[in-house]
């Protein structure tokens, strides 16, 4: 099928599909006039790609995993890589949670200040 149909069937934009190709995630055949032609399996492959994007992975991470995941058989290496990405996500969530805590203490200080008139100095840490 051509790119428009694949886009319609997967929910990805045409631009996104071309982008996936740029990232070597999805490489179609070309007709003599240069048009992209995808096999049926591309639908599932795009589904997997989008699943991984939605799971917070970068295109580079997806690229490293696809050869191990696309054939439907998992590898220990694949699981390690996935765990690595999960840890990265956890770290990021931890950072944001810390930021949220800092913001809360700023809010606490400001609230106290509003009620008592005392100056609030930001806590370091």
Partner DNA sequence: CTTGCCTCTCACGTCGACGTGAGGTTTTAG
Partner DNA sequence: CTAAAACCTCACGTCGACGTGAGAGGCAAG
Residue 85 CB coordination number (10 Å):
19
Please give the distance of CA 103 from its chain centroid, rounded to a whole number: 26
Distance from first CA to last CA of the chain, Å, rounded?
56
**Should residue 15 be labelled a site residue for DNA when binding is judged by CB under 7 A?**
yes
- Give the one residue of 48, 59, 63, 70 binding its own copies; rule: CB under 8 A: 48
Q: Tell me the sheet residues that pair with 29.
A: 37
Residue 18 interacts with, from DNA, its own copies, none (CB under 5-8 Å by kind): DNA
Q: Which long-range contacts (CB under 8 A, 24 or more apart) does 81-86 make?
A: 85/55, 85/56, 85/57, 85/61
Asked if 46 is part of the footprint of DNA (rule: CB under 7 A), the reply reads no
Nearer to DNA, 53 or 120 (CB): 53
Q: Does 33 bind its own copies (CB under 8 A)?
A: no
Q: Which does 82 bind (CB under 5 to 8 A by kind): DNA, its own copies, none?
A: its own copies
* Site for its own copies contains 41 (CB under 8 A): no
Binding site for its own copies (CB under 8 A): 44, 47-48, 51-52, 54-57, 69, 72-76, 78-79, 82-83, 85-86, 89-90, 92-93, 96-97, 99-100, 102-104, 106-107, 110-111, 113-114, 117, 119-122, 124
């Amino acid at each position: 099928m051509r790119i428009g149909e694949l886009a319609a069937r997967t929910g990805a934009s045409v631009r996104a599909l071309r982008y996936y190709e740029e990232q070597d995630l999805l490489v179609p055949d070309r007709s003599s006039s240069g048009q992209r032609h995808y096999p049926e399996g591309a639908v599932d492959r795009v589904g997997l790609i989008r699943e991984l994007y939605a799971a917070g992975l970068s295109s580079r991470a997806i690229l490293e995993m696809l050869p191990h995941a696309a054939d439907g058989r998992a590898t220990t290496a694949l699981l390690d890589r996935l765990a690595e990405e999960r840890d990265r996500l956890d770290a990021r969530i931890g950072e944001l949670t810390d930021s949220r805590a800092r913001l809360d203490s700023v809010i606490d200080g400001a609230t106290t200040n509003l009620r008592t008139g005392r100056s609030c100095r930001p806590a370091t840490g």
